[in-house]
Amino acid sequence: MIEVNNLTKQFGHKTAVDNLSFSVDKGEVLGFLGPNGAGKSTTMRIITGFLPATGGDVKICGIPVADRPEEAKRKIGYLPESAPLYADMTVDGFLRFCASIRGYSGASRRQAVERVVETCFLQSVVHQSIDTLSKGYRHRTCLAQSLLHDPEVLILDEPTDGLDPNQKHEVRKLIRDLGKEKTIVFSTHILEEVDASCSRAMIIDQGKIVAEGSPESLRNDGDGSLTELFRRLTTSDVAA
């Protein structure tokens, strides 16, 4: 469902993504781990067509992102880091607006909004203005918009950022449930989320894959600790 082949991204003389290759199948949840500046967000932006690659290519459901971007993007739900919102809208108004952009109208738009409101536990704030929401509810509203069109592929950049422990538990469970039918890549700095949500994990550092495997195999490589493996494999001087 996601194929990344020899992906490279350079910003001037800096190489942010360095000849990266991996694939993610339907029914897989891939945890994308790495220190700040490792290339996680840049890779996700290229996968979603937000940034062009310097080299290599990406396919979504067999569709080349660079050659057929609109077709590929219809398959993707994207939650970017620090996703933007219209603060003067209500949650319901914002989601209806996003659904309209996706081509929904009338009863189909209402049903799509109702579905993601329930999925993302937004019932209690659905008629509330976004500028009055907590950071956690804002983040869940952004997650809801990425699910409106029931995409086959989900790209989630820090999906539990700003959530309290109860909300994190709900979102992790949601990711596990969605991962049964979809292809999911999500980045995180919280290593416990690998066990909570992922079927596979990948650690990158300075734009390169330094470890990949099931949560259990990675823990074994780290003498029983994913944290120790992460610290051993990643550098501390990567620019943010």
Domain count, the chain: 1
Residue 218 covered by a domain: yes
Residue 59 covered by a domain: yes
Residue 128 covered by a domain: no
**CATH code for position 22:** 3.40.50.300
pLDDT for residue 240: 37
> What is the Cα–Cα distance from 170 to 163, expressed in whole angstroms?
10
pLDDT in tens, 75-101: 999 998 777 899 999 999 999 999 999
pLDDT for residue 236: 57
The single-letter DSSP state of residue 196 is H
Query: Who contacts 236 (Cβ-Cβ below 8 Å, separation ≥6)?
Result: 35
pLDDT for residue 170: 84
Tally Cβ neighbours within 10 Å of residue 63. Answer: 17
pLDDT in tens, 107-159: 999 999 999 999 888 999 999 999 999 888 888 899 999 999 999 999 999 88
pLDDT for residue 239: 43
Residue 103 covered by a domain: no
Residue 173 covered by a domain: no
- In SS3 terms, 61-122 reads as CCEECCCCHHHHHCCEEEECCCCCCCCCCEHHHHHHHHHHHCCCCHHHHHHHHHHHHHHCCC
The two tokens of residue 112 are: 């799509």
Residue 195 covered by a domain: yes
Residue 116 covered by a domain: no
pLDDT for residue 171: 85
What residue numbers bound the domain in which 194 lies?
1-75+181-235
Residue 58 covered by a domain: yes
pLDDT in tens, 145-181: 999 999 999 999 988 877 788 888 888 888 989 999 9
pLDDT for residue 213: 94
